[in-house]
Amino acid sequence: MSDQEYVNEAVPVQLTRESRFCFDCHPGVPCFTDCCRKINIMLTPYDIIRIKNRMGIPSDEFLAVYTEPQILEKTGLPVPVMRLLDDEKQSCPFVRDGEGCIIYADRPSACRYYPIGMATRSHMEDVVEGTQDDFFFMINEERCKGHQETKEWSIAEWRMDQGVDLQDRINEGWTDLIVRKKSFGFTMDMTEKSRKLFFMVCYNIDGFKRFVFESDFLKMHNISDEIIQKISEDEVTLLQFGFDWLQAILFKRDPEGRFLVKEEFAGARKK
């Protein structure tokens, strides 16, 4: 078997937070950093905030240099994936032989979860009610020797150790948007403008901030001074504000009416 023919098997057993497994990854494992090569790493909104801040560059520069856009299956939504190096190993740009990940403290959610996968069973009525039924599963790759280690975890212990609970909480609004769009499928058509807005809000936080504060956005909507202050000072708050705005414009979900366009602007739009 060549190094390009690794078996990547998601074991079809549903696991809970209490399910236990053995796994460990460290420089002493023979396959150390192999999982950082020839891999599709989809980045979440919070991943991008953490990594671009770690590097000290704006999000639009990070996206241009380190990512490539893909269309998420069954949704038509754009997502950024890590652009691998054009080397023999097709490596993540942040991995080093022997050293491992040079941004480990700010590594992507996909890397934190491995070798656990999470899936969501959701039916249309669940989405409408805002409930989701999540479960976990084990990913077994033939190249990964970490499964042969004796260190034992529960799913909950692994998630806490890897810091994915925080990641998931911050990305929750983004996940909900994807689940809703997946439930509607391609019966809910999105314009190119809508896709670009989705991409900007979710992944280009610096671009979204310019959009909010340098356009007529705040004049058009009844946003309180308190919220304006918060989103001007904190990127995570701005990101979650953006998720709420996308829910309003894509799915007409705005229970507080924050994103209703003021009458004078609505009238101008109709002319």
pLDDT digits (tens, 9 = 90+) for 95-109: 998 889 999 999 999
Residue 151, pLDDT score: 96
Residue 52, pLDDT score: 98
Distance CA 109, CA 46 (A): 9
Task: Report residue 87's pLDDT band, with 50, 70 and 90 as the boundaries.
Answer: confident
Distance CA 5, CA 9 (A): 12
pLDDT digits (tens, 9 = 90+) for 199-247: 999 999 999 999 999 999 999 998 999 999 999 999 999 999 999 999 9
Answer left, alpha or beta for residue 255, where phi above 0 means left and psi between -120 and 50 means alpha: alpha
Task: Report residue 185's pLDDT band, with 50, 70 and 90 as the boundaries.
Answer: low
Residue 271, pLDDT score: 45
